[in-house]
Homo-oligomer: A and B are copies of this chain.
Amino acid sequence: MSDRPAKKQNTLFVGALAKGLKLLRAFDETHTDLSLGDLASRTGLDKSAVQRLANTLHVEGMLVKDPATRRYRPSHQWLEMAYAYYWSDPLIGRAMPKLIELSRDIGETVNLAELSGEHIIYALRLPTQRTHFAATIAGRRLPALSTSAGRAMLATWRPEDREAAVRDWPIASFTPATTRDRGTIRDLIEDAAVRGYAISRSEVILNEVGVAAPIVAPDGRAAAAIHVSVSGHSYDLDRINRDIAPAIQDAANTILA
């Protein structure tokens, strides 16, 4: 080390663990089995560090290594982590029976969405035959502003908090029809504040309509929502307002009651 004073160590931070977690985050919906080289380029870590970290994750059962191709994949422990999450989140136990009931009543895809920073994450998903694969599995994370569930939650926030979110939070484009204008998003959230539920069209999947009602906490603010996805071919606005939205709101309103 040069005679320049050494950078002070952060003794509460374990760098090797953080690097290991970075390796885990290299896996996602489009990176499903990765070589050491893939991991090195996706994490920016040195290849011998990646070798050590990947080997350790493998030995600890977190990654599976294909002996023929030497590529790594997530192991079943990743599912066990979701299992532990489900037990740790009180909302899950409360919401599950209501989602199941709603799914049976309306016969459409029903999800529990939770706020996760500036995104929403689908914690529970009850799919139907119509459901696109990506929309059947739990754990998907999407920008809150770009989803009906996120907008339904924000609709319950104080106007200044809502405004800050509309101004600052990320938006994303999934289809040519995805709303990109923050003014339009603001209007949709205001509309949801009036109606008590949010409606989105073709935001994430073309011709899919999302309807979401907030699960309002005792403080008046929602950090979760029930979201239902229907086909725009089968439902016009009248039908949604009449047949779908009331059922979602009833279900959402009973969860924390």
Contact = CB atoms under 8 A, between A and B. Distances in A.
Copy total for this chain: 2
Nearest to A86: B137
A139 to B, nearest CB: 3
A173 interface: no
B137 A21 contact: no
A157 interface: no
Given A32-B88, A100-B127, A104-B129, A121 B80 contact: yes
A115 to B, nearest CB: 9
Q: Which of A16, A79, A131 has the most CB of B within 10 A?
A: A79
A17 interface: yes
A64 to B, nearest CB: 9
A14 B20 contact: yes
Contacts of A133: 93, 96
Interface in A66-120: 73-76, 78-89, 92-93, 96-97, 100-101, 104, 114, 116
Given A80-B139, A104-B129, A129-B100, A21 B85 contact: no
A12 B88 contact: no
A73 B57 CA distance: 22
A151 to B, nearest CB: 19
A51 interface: yes
Nearest to A26: B84
A56 interface: yes
Given A78-B82, A138-B138, A139-B81, A60 B18 contact: yes
Nearest to A76: B116
Contacts of A126: 126-127
Given A13-B56, A14-B56, A17-B20, A137 B83 contact: yes
A42 to B, nearest CB: 13
A234 interface: no
Contacts of A14: 16, 20, 52-53, 56
A11 interface: yes
Contacts of A79: 82, 85, 121, 123, 138-139
Contact of A121 (B15, B76, B84): B76
Nearest to A100: B129
A29 interface: yes
A236 to B, nearest CB: 25
A147 interface: no
